[in-house]
Amino acid sequence: MARHVVLGKGPIGRTLAQHLAAAGHEVHVLSRSGARPGTPGRTAAPGGGTVTHHRVDGTDADALTRHSRGAAALYNCVNPAYHRWVSDWPPVADALLTAAERTGAVLVVAGNLYSYGAGNEHMHEDDPLATRETKGQVRARMWADALARHDAGALRAVEVRGSDYLGPGAEAHAHVGPRMLAPLLAGKVLRPVGSADQPHTWTYLPDFAAALAAAAALPAAWGRPWHVPSPEPLTYRQVAERFAAAAGAPAPRVSPVPLALVRALGVAQPMMREVHAVGYQFTAPFVADDAASRAVLGTSSTDWDDVVAQTLAAYRHEQRAAA
**Mean pLDDT calculated for residue range 249-276:** 90
Q: Are 221 and 215 in contact (CB under 8 A)?
A: yes
Greatest CA span in the chain, whole angstroms?
A: 57
Question: Of the candidates 170, 153, 162, which has an alpha carbon nearest to the alpha carbon of residue 215?
Answer: 162
pLDDT for 40-95, tens place per residue?
899 999 989 999 999 999 999 999 999 999 999 999 999 999 899 999 999 999 99
pLDDT for 217 equals 98
Give the whole-angstrom CA distance, residue 10 versus residue 261.
Answer: 29
Q: What is the mean pLDDT of residues 268-291?
A: 92
pLDDT at 262: 84
Averaged pLDDT of the chain: 95
Q: What is the 3-state secondary structure (H, E, C) of 186-212?
A: CCCEECCECCCCCCECEEEHHHHHHHH
Counting every residue written for the chain, the total comes to: 323
Pick the range with the lowest mean pLDDT from 6-20, 39-53, 154-168, 286-300.
Answer: 39-53
The answer, yes or no, to whether residue 112 has pLDDT greater than 90, is yes
pLDDT of the residue at 35? 86
Measuring CA to CA, how many Å separate 102 from each of 44, 52, 69? 29, 22, 8
pLDDT value at residue 110? 98
The pLDDT tens digits for 175-194 are: 999 999 999 999 999 999 99
Angle at 262 between CA 256 and CA 264, to 5 degrees: 140
Separation of alpha carbons 180 and 191, rounded Å: 8
φ, ψ for residue 129, nearest 5 deg:
-90, 85
Task: Tell me if the pTM is above 0.85.
Answer: yes
Question: Which residue ranges form the domains of the chain, and what is each CATH number?
Answer: 3-163+203-231+287-302 (3.40.50.720)
> What beta strand segments (E) does the chain contain?
3-7, 26-31, 42-44, 50-55, 73-76, 106-111, 122-123, 157-161, 164-166, 189-190, 202-204, 225-227, 253-254, 287-288
